[in-house]
Amino acid sequence: MPFIPRFLADAMLGHIARWLRLLGYDTLYYKSISDWKLLKIAKEEDRILLTRDLGLFRRARKYGIRALFIEDPSVEKVLALISIKYNIALEFNKENTLCPECNTQLKYTTSIAEVSARVDKEIVLKYKEFWICPSCSKIYWQGTHWRTISAILEEARQEKLKILSRIKPLERKVSSEGV
C-alpha cells in the first residue's frame, strides 16, 4: 500500500493547509496552538509537520518527527516542494477532496435536490457539480474562483518541473564523478 502523507501545518501556514485539503490530503491546522502541542500531535499521529518556524522545525527533527521547514511563502513554490518531497499529486480529484475548513472528506454530488434548499437558485441553475461537507455542512462548487485555483495549481506544477530540472543535472554530475 503506498504511503499517503498526513500533514500538520503550523499557525503561519493555514493557506497551505487549505490547499492540501483541496488536493485530498489530510491536513490538520490550528490557528492558535502551542509548539509543544504541535509536536505531540505530529508524533502521536505520525504527521509531517509543516512550519515556517526554524526553531520548531529543529525541535521536531531532534525528537524524530518528520518536518519540513518552509522558507518561501509562495503557495506555488510550497506546493511544488511538498509534491517533490512527499510525492503528492498537484491535481484536483473531484472524488477525493477534503473540506478546506474542517478537513472532512467531502461528498461529491450532481443531485440538485441535495443542494437546492441550501444555495442560491442562480448557483443551482449555473453549476451541476457540488461538494457537501457532512461535518460543517458547507457546500462547494467550481465557481468563478476556479480559474484562479486551476492557474495556481498549474503554476505549482511548473515550479515543480523547474526545481526537478535543477536537481537532475546535479544528480547526473554527482554520479558521473563517482561521489
The 10s digit of each residue's pLDDT in 18-74 is 999 999 999 999 999 999 999 999 999 999 999 999 999 999 999 999 999 999 889
Per-residue model confidence (pLDDT) at position 73: 82
Domains defined along the chain, listed by start:
7-92+150-177 (3.40.50), 93-143 (no CATH)
pLDDT in tens, 100-155: 999 999 999 999 999 999 999 999 999 999 999 999 999 999 999 999 999 999 99
Other C-beta atoms lying within 10 Å of the C-beta of residue 131 = 20
Q: Does the structure show a pLDDT above 50 at 159?
A: yes
Residue 124 DSSP SS3: helix
Per-residue model confidence (pLDDT) at position 72: 86
Please list the residues that pair with 8 across neighbouring strands: 28, 49
Tell how strand 107-109 and strand 130-132 pair up.
antiparallel
pLDDT band at 179 (very low <50, low <70, confident <90, very high): very low
pLDDT in tens, 76-98: 999 999 999 999 999 999 999 99
What gap in Å lies between CA 149 and CA 19, rounded to an integer? 9
Q: Where are the alpha helices (DSSP H) in the chain?
A: 14-22, 35-44, 54-62, 75-86, 112-115, 121-126, 146-177
What gap in Å lies between CA 149 and CA 57, rounded to an integer? 29
Please indicate, yes or no, whether the overall pTM of this predicted structure exceeds 0.85: yes
Residues 6+ apart with CB under 8 A from 131: 94, 97, 106, 107, 108, 109, 139, 140, 141
Residues 6+ apart with CB under 8 A from 45: 6, 8, 28
Per-residue model confidence (pLDDT) at position 166: 85
Per-residue model confidence (pLDDT) at position 169: 64
For 175, the grid coordinates are: 554520479
Per-residue model confidence (pLDDT) at position 171: 55
- Backbone φ/ψ region at 154: left (φ over 0), alpha (ψ -120 to 50), beta: alpha
More confident residue, 170 or 47: 47
What gap in Å lies between CA 138 and CA 140, rounded to an integer? 7
pLDDT band at 3 (very low <50, low <70, confident <90, very high): confident
Q: Does the structure show a pLDDT above 80 at 173?
A: no
